Chains A and B, each alone.
Chain A
Amino acid sequence: MIQAEYYNIFVKIIDQLAVLDFLPPVWKFILASVIAALVFFHVIAIFALVAIWVERKVAGHIQDRLGPMETGWHGVLQTLADAIKLLIKEDIIAGGIDRRLFVLAPVIVFMTALAVFVVFPVGENFIVSDLNIGILYIVAISTLVVPGIIMAGWSSNNKWSLFGAMRSAAQIVSYEVPVGLAIVCAVMAAGSLSMQTIVESQAGGFWNWFIFSKFPFGFIAFFIYFVASLAEINRTPFDLPEAESEIVAGYMTEYSGMRWSFFFLAEYGNMLAVGAIATTLFLGGWQTPISLLSFIPGPVWFTAKTMFLVFVHIWLRWTLPRLRVDQLMYMCWKVLTPFAFVSIFGIGLWMTF
């Protein structure tokens, strides 16, 4: 038997299969974990397929055109066709590059995007492992993307790549500060770093969600997290590292074919991840907004809230123009960071009195 504290949904399914009874518990646990990782890999892949199509459709309709229409019904098969094209595309590794770092970079970037999914509380019993340092783990592992990007940019031996990588690193580390401070706000209110405990402390109706319960400081923290997380994952209006009009494709310039598509997949995985983190910390995770609707299961709520935030990401991309580098730094250090301090101060005062 596996101890009850490790009993996630995947372990439960594996444990009930009589065929696997010959395996010792630890191996069952490892098998369940591998299956969970494969499930989340495919979640990212399928999400990317759908989200790219949605993004192109939303872009089309915002700009008063139709978007992809030819492949399948309203172009639904367009991204599938793109994926097949990428798979059979030539993988060029140019001369004069640092080959080892070049090959390793997309692996690191994608690996961290996948590892974040370990601690997402999708439902009441649906979490791969509820680490007691949950949110701190997310902050730590998602920062590993910076070495990956710098490796990609530096090894490419291409000026666009180097500029893109340096910009991206400066941007990600700068915006790490407001993100960290906004997360501290939620942790203060919940009194725990574990993702499941954070969700449970927001139970009982939407007025208990942190975005509303400490109004307006919770809302400020949510807003800061949302804006700064856009910058963390290099989405518009903060997509300077891959600004097409000035530095081609940033740190991805020298990559082609499947190697390039792993950067792209990681970007969409990160979109899903920051949506899920914002949902967990501020929007009550899998909790229902009003008890009347509690017949709808938790994972549905979690997915719905995350998808809504992802839709807002897409919507913003086609609404706002790209910032300049100095505006980016102004936004981070002179707007978001001071307001994050104000919101920590406000929540502290609120909880003291």
Chain B
Amino acid sequence: MILDFLNVFIFLLVGIFMVSITLLLSKLVHPRKITKEKMIAYECGEDPVGETWIRFNNRFYVIALIFIIFDIEVVFLFPWAVAFTKLGNNFLAFADMMIFLAILLVGFAYVWVKGDLEWVKSYFTDHGEEVLKSPND
């Protein structure tokens, strides 16, 4: 088994190696004419204003949290899926996992009803007023 994973390791190394070799080859032939404009971040011709490394909208954080919960669930599903045929497809194994899934689905329903799966939580009208979207819209 350890040799199988040696294959993976060698593939990763060859990936790094081939990228480096190609970049080196490119470095030998490409021109290098540095001007002041080239060194500025590309923002469609405007000079960049302010810092880019800023705090970010926390809805990405909510998505990441929901993802972690569901991904752990998928991790629990994999061993069960492998063992399912070996357990003789019996009803007990099936019911067991369905109870586990049902408990998780309660959480999923909660997230859904609370509106955390909505991307747009509020919008602006033409008059500039902010309107909160209700979760059931």
- The interface of chain A, by Cβ under 8 A from chain B, is 6, 26, 29-30, 33-34, 36-38, 40-41, 86-92, 94-97, 106-107, 110-115, 117-118, 128-132, 136-137, 141, 154, 156-162, 166, 169-170, 173-174, 176-177, 180-181, 184, 187-188, 191-193, 248, 253-254, 257-259, 262, 325-326, 328-330, 333-334, 337, 341, 344-345, 348-349, 351-352
Known: A191-B85, A257-B26, A348-B94. A174 touches B52 (CB 8 A): no
Q: Of A92, A95, A193, which is within 8 A of B82 by CB? A: A193
Q: Which of B60-114 contact A (CB under 8 A)?
A: 60, 63-64, 66-67, 70-71, 74, 77-78, 81-82, 84-86, 89-91, 94, 97-98, 101, 105, 108, 112
Q: Does B32 interact with chain A (Cβ within 8 Å)?
A: yes
Question: Whose C-beta in chain A lies nearest to the C-beta of B4?
Answer: A129
- The interface of chain B, by Cβ under 8 A from chain A, is 1, 3-8, 10-16, 18-20, 22-23, 25-27, 29-33, 38-44, 48, 52-53, 56, 60, 63-64, 66-67, 70-71, 74, 77-78, 81-82, 84-86, 89-91, 94, 97-98, 101, 105, 108, 112, 117-120
Known: A92-B38, A188-B81, A193-B78. A114 touches B14 (CB 8 A): yes
Question: Whose C-beta in chain B lies nearest to the C-beta of A84?
Answer: B29
Could you tell me the distance in whole angstroms from the C-beta of B84 to the nearest C-beta in chain A?
5
Q: Is there contact, CB below 8 Å, between B15 and A87?
A: no
Known: A37-B10, A94-B39, A110-B15. A87 touches B4 (CB 8 A): no
Q: Is there contact, CB below 8 Å, between A115 and B82?
A: no
Q: What chain B residues lie within 8 Å of A26 (beta carbons)?
A: 3
Question: Whose C-beta in chain B lies nearest to the C-beta of A96?
Answer: B41
Could you tell me the distance in whole angstroms from the C-beta of A24 to the nearest C-beta in chain B?
13
CA distance A130 to B1 in the complex (A): 10
CA distance A300 to B85 in the complex (A): 31
Q: What chain A residues lie within 8 Å of B48 (beta carbons)?
A: 158-159
Q: Of A91, A114, A115, A128, which is within 8 A of B27 by CB? A: A91
Question: Whose C-beta in chain B lies nearest to the C-beta of A115?
Answer: B11
Q: What chain A residues lie within 8 Å of B14 (beta carbons)?
A: 34, 37-38, 41, 114
CA distance A60 to B76 in the complex (A): 46
Given A107-B15, A166-B56, A177-B67: 18 more A-B contacts, CB < 8 Å: A6-B4, A37-B10, A37-B11, A87-B22, A88-B30, A96-B41, A114-B12, A129-B7, A131-B8, A137-B8, A159-B48, A170-B63, A191-B84, A257-B26, A258-B22, A330-B117, A351-B85, A352-B89
Could you tell me the distance in whole angstroms from the C-beta of B116 to the nearest C-beta in chain A?
9
Q: Is there contact, CB below 8 Å, between A33 and B10?
A: yes
Interface centre among A111, A131, A136 (most CB of B within 10 A): A111
6 residue pairs of the A-B complex, CB under 8 angstroms, read: A26-B3, A38-B18, A88-B29, A90-B30, A170-B60, A351-B94
CA distance A97 to B48 in the complex (A): 13
CA distance A254 to B43 in the complex (A): 10
Known: A174-B67, A181-B74. A257 touches B85 (CB 8 A): no
Known: A33-B10, A94-B39, A348-B98. A180 touches B85 (CB 8 A): no
Q: What chain A residues lie within 8 Å of B25 (beta carbons)?
A: 87
Q: Is there contact, CB below 8 Å, between A254 and B15?
A: no
Q: What chain B residues lie within 8 Å of A325 (beta carbons)?
A: 119
Known: A34-B14, A253-B42, A262-B19. A184 touches B27 (CB 8 A): no
Known: A30-B10, A248-B44. A187 touches B78 (CB 8 A): yes
Q: Is there contact, CB below 8 Å, between B97 and A111?
A: no
